[in-house]
């Protein structure tokens, strides 16, 4: 009788697990399909407030300019959060499509660094770029690579104050293949081994105190690693508490799409 009861419980647990997995898939598919419906009205709000701020004098709304700027900033922040959740849902639902292109890496790095300088300036950080000469071409989805790098820059600049954030780029040979390494190093607060162990989990930050002090959803790094793995690479971290962190994106020179996320 005990054996029969154990078998029954085993199959019951299996069925519950199947139902939970199916529900999770439906949730991801629903959010992935809602991308347009969620982004469109928010983009309209952002665009309208930008226009009203720019033309405040002509509209006679000078007094409303500062509140409008706050609405615009809040809308832009909310759009960023929505984009992260939708990206995660697309990855989970298997609906994320890559658009690989063969491109020269140096101009893409210059473009990302120009944007990152604004992030660095917010906490009075110095931004340094160290790139190997003749990095050459890379087959990659440029939008997704920019997203990964800006996530890493945003993270580094947020946890570093009046310090230095450095981007290092080089070609390496490993496991008989050619790779590009893009490392973002900072002189910020760093992390313990325990904090690093859960760093790439969805909706998880290093610890609750860090989450309260610095904010964020805990999705940026998780999505960055998932995107890198889909493109056949990875994102890794080396860090020490109080001595900063180094996040390294390693991607194959020729894009090889991977299902491992």
pTM: 0.73
List pLDDT tens digits, range 84-111. Answer: 878 887 787 777 888 999 999 999 999 9
Name beta bridge partners: 131: 169
What strands, in cross-sheet order, belong to the sheet with 164-174? 126-131, 164-174, 177-186, 245-252, 234-239
How far, in Å, CA of 202 to CA of 85, rounded? Answer: 10
Neighbouring C-beta atoms of residue 89, cutoff 10 Å: 20
**Taking Cα atoms as reference points, which of 215, 223, 83 lies closest to residue 151?**
223
Contact 261, 191 (CB under 8 A): no
pLDDT at 68: 82
DSSP string, 148-174: HHHHHHHHHHHT-SSSEEEEEEEEEEE
> Which two structure tokens, joined as six digits, stand for 100?
């690989």
Backbone region of residue 60 per phi and psi (left: phi > 0; alpha: psi in -120 to 50; beta: other values): left
Q: What is the mean pLDDT of each run of 10 residues along the chain (261 residues)?
A: 66 68 61 69 85 78 79 82 80 82 92 91 94 89 94 92 95 90 95 86 60 62 93 94 94 67 54
| Closest C-alpha to 32, from 79, 93, 84 | 93
What are 108-125's pLDDT values in tens digits? Answer: 999 999 999 988 998 999
pLDDT for position 259: 45
Cα–Cα distance for residue pair 257/142, rounded to 1 Å = 14
DSSP E strands, 75-160: 101-104, 126-131, 137-140
Structure tokens given for 58: 């002509």
Do residues 248 and 235 lie in contact, with contact meaning Cβ atoms separated by under 8 Å? yes
Helices 65-93, 2-33: crossing angle, 10 deg rounding: 130
């Amino acid at each position: 009788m005990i054996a029969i009861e154990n078998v029954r419980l085993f199959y019951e647990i299996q069925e519950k697990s199947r139902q939970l997995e199916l529900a999770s898939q439906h949730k991801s598919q629903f959010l992935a399909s809602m991308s347009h419906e969620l982004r469109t009205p928010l983009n309209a709000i952002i665009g309208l407030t930008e226009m009203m701020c720019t033309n405040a004098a002509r509209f006679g709304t000078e007094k409303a300019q500062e509140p409008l700027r706050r609405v615009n900033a809040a809308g832009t922040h909310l759009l960023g959060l929505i984009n992260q959740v939708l990206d995660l849902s697309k990855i989970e639902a298997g609906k994320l499509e890559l658009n690989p292109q063969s491109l020269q890496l140096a101009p893409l790095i210059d473009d990302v660094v120009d944007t990152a300088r604004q992030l660095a300036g917010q906490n009075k950080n110095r931004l340094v770029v160290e790139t190997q000469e003749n990095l050459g071409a890379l087959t990659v989805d440029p939008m997704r690579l920019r997203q990964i790098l800006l996530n890493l820059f945003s993270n580094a600049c947020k946890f570093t104050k009046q310090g230095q954030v450095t981007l290092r780029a080089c070609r390496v040979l490993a496991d008989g293949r050619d790779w590009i390494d893009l490392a973002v190093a900072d002189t910020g607060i760093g992390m313990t081994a325990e904090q690093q162990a859960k760093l790439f989990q969805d909706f998880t930050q290093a610890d609750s105190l860090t989450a309260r002090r610095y904010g964020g959803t805990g999705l940026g790094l998780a999505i960055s690693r998932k995107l890198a793995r889909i493109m056949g690479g990875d994102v890794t971290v080396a860090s020490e508490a109080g001595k900063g962190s180094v996040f390294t994106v390693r991607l194959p020179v020729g894009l090889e799409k991977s299902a491992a996320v």
